[in-house]
Structure 1
Amino acid sequence: MSVESLLAQIDVLLAAKGLSDRKACLKAREINPAVGVDFIRDMRRRGHPPRSDKLAALAQVLEVSPASLVEVLEGQKKPLEPIHTTQIEVRGDVQAGVWREAIEWPAVEWYAITVPLDVAFAGLRRYGLIVKGDSMDKVFPDGSIVVVINLVDLGRMPQTGEIAVVVQRSKTSNEFEATVKAVQVLESGEIILWPQSTNPDFATPIRIKPGECDHDAGMPDVFIQALVVASYRPKPMVSF
């Protein structure tokens, strides 16, 4: 029997419910008076397998089946690994359908969301943008939040199959416009930016030839600003 594995499972479940050892034991004691307030602490200290009736009471508090904890204890099931999270700021919105003025909200309107940590991008600054429109709805339905890293922080260009936030200089003003597209890099160096849409109106890609986007002043007229590394959909809805 592996009490260590059982305790690892219990720790994940306690963290998910925001309970301390003692508080969980007090709740379990209301179900089974035989559960002591130091039930979990004693398991940690002594390494002894718990009585099944006490474990069943704790399982009820943790909202899992007693059998699932017994399976971990007996080595029939691996314990859950804890998920490490962090908070990022949602700073604005971006149009997925067509070029539109890039919108970054005033700082007072930014808000935080909790997302999993990704070891592939450890230490890199990330932020969120709300996707508007349906040209990328196969991947990001309207209202999705994409988590992005600026290329200046990432230190590389997007690769084929990745998704990016693309910015161009407006043809009618001094502002910049942005969109979200899937990236395809050809052997020639040409970059093709594809929509991923159920809407047939969005089927034409944006083609960027090598050197085509260079600006006389040294700033390109079209450039990839950020890589999309994750997405989040608050309160998913369906239409009938």
Structure 2
Amino acid sequence: MAEGAAKSSNDTGLFDRIEPLMADLGISARELSLRITGKPDLVRDIRRKGHKPNADNLHAMANELGTTVEYLMGGTDDAEQVFSEVGVSDTHVDWRGSERVEPGIPLVGTGDCADLEVCDTSGQMVRVERSSFDSDYHVRMIARPPALRGARDLYAIYFHGESMEPRFAPGEVGIVDPGRPVRSGDYVVVQINTGDSDEVATVLVKRLIAMNAREITLEQFNPALTFTLERTRIARIHRILPQTELLFG
């Protein structure tokens, strides 16, 4: 009996705070209950059975009545809700900043071409695989890896032939960055001029072994050989980006 009396006393205090707020708003216990739970009995059970709402229902009740949970539970005598003077804008704020549209990378026209006769490092004349090259013709644009955002003058090529297998298989695509300096050990696109002008006549895709003011030394894998070219024949030499730089910049 004492236990039932204690429960009724505690929860009557909750209802005593709910009742005048409902009256001020002109809503009934049934209507308030329906707004909170979709059922008509929540407020009635507080008054008659001493049931206490769960936390979610208590918060919802405070919002409906324009007060606070602390007031309903007897923690304060101030029924007014406190509003911050600092508003939160409904406007979406993009924390990443503005999106910059990055251009694609042009896949330039390349193709198989007749072999080129060069001098290997032993002094013998040998023939190496070469490709045609048309920088003004773009086969298509390919998507730019995120790590290369902002990089300028990039272009891509199809690998042709078998001279650089297994490193590059025919039909694979390589991305070339003319802005990065070449170093020994890099895979490179060597643009060879016509001999009497800087116009590009053909290209080689090889591995750079060494270069100086007079010549460059290149390597191919299939068949395996190392050879040299005079620097006067080189219009440009550009670096093919390895996978680590495509992924991480």
- TM-score range normalised by the length of the shorter chain: 0.3 to 0.5
Higher RCO (C-alpha under 8 Å, 6+ residues apart): 1
Q: TM-score, normalised by structure 2?
A: 0.42
- Pick the structure with greater CA Rg: 2
